[in-house]
Structure 1
Amino acid sequence: MIKEFKAGQLTVKIYPERRAMGNAAAAMISATLRRLLEQKEAVSIIFAAAPSQDEMLEALVKETGIEWSRVHAFHMDEYIGLPADAPQGFGNFLKQRIFDLLPFRTVNYIDGSGTEAACVKYGCLLQAHPADIVCMGIGENGHLAFNDPPVADFNDPLPVKIVELDEVCRQQQVNDGCFATLAAVPTHAVTLTIPSLLQAPHIFCVVPGVRKAMAVYDTIHQNIQPQHPSTILRNHSGATLFLDAQSSDQLSIQKKG
């Protein structure tokens, strides 16, 4: 059993537990991808790298009847300064969980060297293969990709930029078990900007877990503003937010249910 409602133009779906949420998200992504591949020669997808995406990615790679050889894969953000083989690297996360498991037409990794030239190059790749689908999460501070509240810009002129990570964002990486201490978390990253993410006609936002409950509440109830970056999803008619019982715990519809 699920609960479903609208928050502005955003569709919100609540599932009783995390695995059901991830499976449902993967099924909807796959259905959308199959439909797009009937209409277009190639499709581009941007993937987030985070533990919140684990169940969805695990289910997605098991889906059948998809011509992955017609899909361009991108990832949406990357730390600056990590060794190329660091397990915390978002490119490495996606390489292990999906990029090496499916025969994509192209896999396009963000250069974590932190140069402006690398940002421009990746922006050109996105322009050449505009995103059809974005698979994302929401941070504990409400960020989308690494667009934390201090740097989020709903009208950002850049497609890709270098950002300084705020402390809440960096602490989340410790909370997720990716780094042992806050000091070990990089202070800067490369991120796709909010306009780059929102230009995709289909957005699937997968947000499980109790630590995301307040960010989910803010997404639904706060004014749409960069101080709460994820609120902008309420302006996107093609966005769907997938929640489990824990991440939706603070929502009034869940409490009434």
Structure 2
Amino acid sequence: MKLHIFNDPTQLGQSSGSLAAEHIKQAIQSKGQANIILATGTSQFETLNQLIQEKDIDWSKVVLFHLDEYIGLKDSHPASFRKYLKERFIQLVPALKSVNLINGEEDALAECQRLNSIILHHPIDVALVGIGENGHLAFNDPPANFETKDPYIVVQLDEACRKQQMGEGWFPSMEDVPQQAISMSIQHIMASKKIICSVPDYRKAEAVKNCLENEVSPWYPASILQKHGDCSMFLDQQSAELLSANFKKQAYNA
């Protein structure tokens, strides 16, 4: 894992977004298209903002998937990740080769099967991810399923995850936060050629420490990133606050 620590979320996003663009262009050059995964949520604001400003990306050769979506939430809801991606990315770049959004409004298992049949033919070149306050990767809350090979699965959202979603202002109350979601599985995220993990904010500091300094464990889902062959972790000073001094010395940027 390559660790990068920046002064603030803006610098973090500029660097992570530029790196994502570099790998997308490399994939297009080497095989004619790039298959990418985008994450959502507040942690991705600056990264996506940088990515849409990058030059010389032939978006007509990019196939898009995303990490997760709530079950039972309309895409007009402020918390919908489909709405998020449309407004913060899809509508701001030229037309992509294809967009594969998760629809959790009806039969969730059938939607998983539909998406799985598509994504299995599109090995992921670049995955943009984050880490939740409870250490989750996508919506794989602890203890996460490290074993399933299915690309998309139905998951239960734990209380800590649901509190985070409410705390970030996406829902007015806990009762409004869905209890289930469709999530990309841990194994399929790990199958990505390149993973770029962007994690700003002190709210994530404990999760960052647990996932980077502890042994890999389903109780710290994002700890699995330690085992990936090409993962770049982007933190700001606040999210890196609780890391040990020795661990911070590994950082490529300060």
If the length of structure 2 is used for normalisation, what is the TM-score? 0.94
CA distance in 1, matches of 2:31, 2:98: 16
Deviations 1:20-57 (A, max 9, x none): 00000011111111112110111100111111100011
1:108 to 94, 100, 104: 100
Asked whether the 8 Å contact 1:114–1:190 carries over to 2, the reply is no
Corresponding residue SS for 1:61? helix
1:183 to 168, 175, 187: 175
Corresponding residue SS for 1:12? strand
Asked whether the 8 Å contact 1:47–1:76 carries over to 2, the reply is yes
What is residue 233 of structure 1 aligned with on the other side?
225
Asked whether the 8 Å contact 1:46–1:133 carries over to 2, the reply is yes
Structure 1 segments of 4+ aligned residues over 3 angstroms from their partners: 254-257
What is residue 27 of structure 1 aligned with on the other side?
18
Asked whether the 8 Å contact 2:71–2:108 carries over to 1, the reply is no
CA distance in 2, matches of 1:61, 1:44: 16
What is residue 5 of structure 1 aligned with on the other side?
none
User: How far did residue 255 of structure 1 move?
Assistant: 7.6
What is residue 39 of structure 1 aligned with on the other side?
30
What is residue 96 of structure 1 aligned with on the other side?
87
What is residue 193 of structure 2 aligned with on the other side?
201
Deviations 1:87-106 (A, max 9, x none): 21011101100012222111
Corresponding residue SS for 2:53? coil
| 1:216 has 2:201 as partner | no
Give the counterpart letter for 1:21 in structure 2.
Answer: L
Asked whether the 8 Å contact 1:91–1:109 carries over to 2, the reply is yes
CA distance in 2, matches of 1:118, 1:75: 13
Give ranges in structure 2 of 5+ residues lacking alignment: none
CA distance in 2, matches of 1:18, 1:52: 8
Give the counterpart letter for 1:228 in structure 2.
Answer: Y
CA distance in 2, matches of 1:109, 1:255: 37
Deviations 1:95-137 (A, max 9, x none): 1000122221111111212421110111111112121110010
| 1:70 has 2:54 as partner | no
1:249 to 241, 245, 252: 241
1:131 to 124, 127, 143: 124
| 1:144 has 2:144 as partner | no
Equivalent pairs, count: 247
- Tell me whether 206-215 or 81-90 shows the greater mean CA deviation: 81-90
Asked whether the 8 Å contact 1:114–1:189 carries over to 2, the reply is no
CA distance in 2, matches of 1:56, 1:124: 29
Give the counterpart letter for 1:218 in structure 2.
Answer: N
- Two-structure CA RMSD over aligned residues (Å): 1.4
CA distance in 1, matches of 2:234, 2:211: 12
What is residue 166 of structure 1 aligned with on the other side?
158
CA distance in 1, matches of 2:74, 2:25: 36
Give the counterpart letter for 1:73 in structure 2.
Answer: L
User: How far did residue 19 of structure 1 move?
Assistant: 0.3
CA distance in 2, matches of 1:255, 1:56: 22
Q: Sequence identity of aligned pairs in percent?
A: 38
User: How far did residue 157 of structure 1 move?
Assistant: 3.0
1:157 to 149, 161, 164: 149
Give ranges in structure 1 of 5+ residues lacking alignment: 1-9
CA distance in 2, matches of 1:95, 1:84: 10
1:59 to 47, 50, 69: 50
CA distance in 1, matches of 2:141, 2:19: 28
Asked whether the 8 Å contact 2:156–2:179 carries over to 1, the reply is yes
If the length of structure 1 is used for normalisation, what is the TM-score? 0.93
